[in-house]
Amino acid sequence: MAAAGRTVLKKEHDTTEWRAAMEALLLAVERGGPTMFARIGTIRALNRDHVPESNPKGKGPHWGRRKLKRDQ
């Protein structure tokens, strides 16, 4: 299985994420199942080592926010 120009290594082939992605892909191909599940599974398997960055402050400031008269 190749996705985004990357082939699956043998040791990655047996991970839980890749097994779920392959199962969803086979379901879509053989039984006409939802292709979106196969796509989501493949993307999750490709990005399984990626840790999203967290912003401890939450949302950033909105630079176009209007000021109230009481704050002027």
**pLDDT value, residue 2:** 45
> The tokens 């040791």 sit on which residue?
11
Q: Cβ distance 1 to 22 under 8 Å?
A: yes
**pLDDT value, residue 7:** 67
* Mean pLDDT of each 10-residue bin along the chain, 72 residues long: 56 81 90 90 87 73 74 72
The C-alpha angle 15, 19, 23, rounded to 5 degrees, equals 175
pTM of the model: 0.56
**pLDDT value, residue 8:** 66
**pLDDT value, residue 70:** 81
Q: Is 61 helix (H, G, I), strand (E, B) or coil?
A: coil
Q: Is 20 helix (H, G, I), strand (E, B) or coil?
A: helix
CA distances from 38 to 47, 55, 64 (A): 14, 30, 41
Listed residue (15, 24, 22, 17) closest to 1, CA to CA: 22
